[in-house]
Structure 1
């Protein structure tokens, strides 16, 4: 199988939205939350209309099978420690979002390739000092993957396995 990794175009957005929503509902189990997922409903406005934002997709033929987004927004949701929010000023911080791969396309290097595209984009935009991200440690393989491409800056797990088990990372420039 040959996957194409590329910046998302308008015609890719329905497939990208499908990957995102399926991940939120099926893989993460908490579904769509309008406070945290506005980019999923209108990815064109969020990712394609700002020169400092981007959405990348992995396509297998006409099917979008993976996504990764970059935005300049403060890391505030789900609620994060205030010192962490202060560490990443929005004017100098890019945040990585929606690194999602459909289950039947995992373990093929797609997330790593998409993150590589995001890093190249952020480096090329200029003005960013760091690429920030957080993950839910309950997601299988998340810690191992992020530990291989980023530096952990905060483990905010609280021991309540029913709640978010958030771990924060950064990729400095």
Structure 2
């Protein structure tokens, strides 16, 4: 699947795209979470090809500008019931966890994030997921209102230092 816009193209990440996607994601993480020094030390990032191009029912979509640079990402993996605040809330065989949704600051509010979400939701339905869960933080500029606008519902509003909100959406 490939979605073409006049200024960007969205498609599934391939193993050949991993280094370019990491070159986009790592600086985004440091920009968004400047007070978390190890924010980029995560299994899915150190094993990106395995996590998003080889595992069943997992994928990452990326938005590429006209020069071929990654300017946005979004990922989905099977939810593994690891998050204490929502433990037991989801059917782990049919729930996907959405993550790695980032868009370059200069390109926000141009429809990239909405198109990425639509692509990942379509993919999720195709591979048999009936729900998507995610977590965001209310301090992120535009993040929480964006997910509400995409019909994601609050599951738990955390009382932690990062002001975490756990959200989900049933896929129709």
Into which bin does the TM-score normalised by the smaller protein fall?
A: 0.7 to 0.9
Distance in 2, matches of 1:53 and 1:66, equals: 17
C-alpha distance after superposition, 1:9-31 (max 9, x if no partner)? 12221121122211211222224
Asked whether 1:138 is paired with 2:136, we answer no
Paired position in structure 2 for 1:164 = 162
5+ residue gaps in structure 1? none
Paired position in structure 2 for 1:70 = 76
5+ residue gaps in structure 2? 1-5
Give the TM-score, by structure 1 length: 0.87
C-alpha distance after superposition, 1:73-122 (max 9, x if no partner)? 32535xx32xx121123222100010011212211111111111100000
Give the TM-score, by structure 2 length: 0.87
Q: Cα RMSD over matched residues? A: 1.7
The alignment of Structure 1 onto Structure 2 pairs a total of residues equal to 163
Is the 2:73–2:116 contact (alpha carbons within 8 Å) kept by the matching residues of 1?
A: yes
Distance in 2, matches of 1:59 and 1:114, equals: 11
Distance in 1, matches of 2:127 and 2:159, equals: 33
Match of 1:45 among 36, 50, 55: 50
C-alpha distance after superposition, 1:48-68 (max 9, x if no partner)? 102210110000031001110
Is the 2:29–2:39 contact (alpha carbons within 8 Å) kept by the matching residues of 1?
A: no
Please show how residues 16-95 of structure 1 align to structure 2 within 5 Å.
16-29=21-34, 30-33=36-39, 37-60=42-65, 61-76=67-82, 80-81=84-85, 84-95=86-97
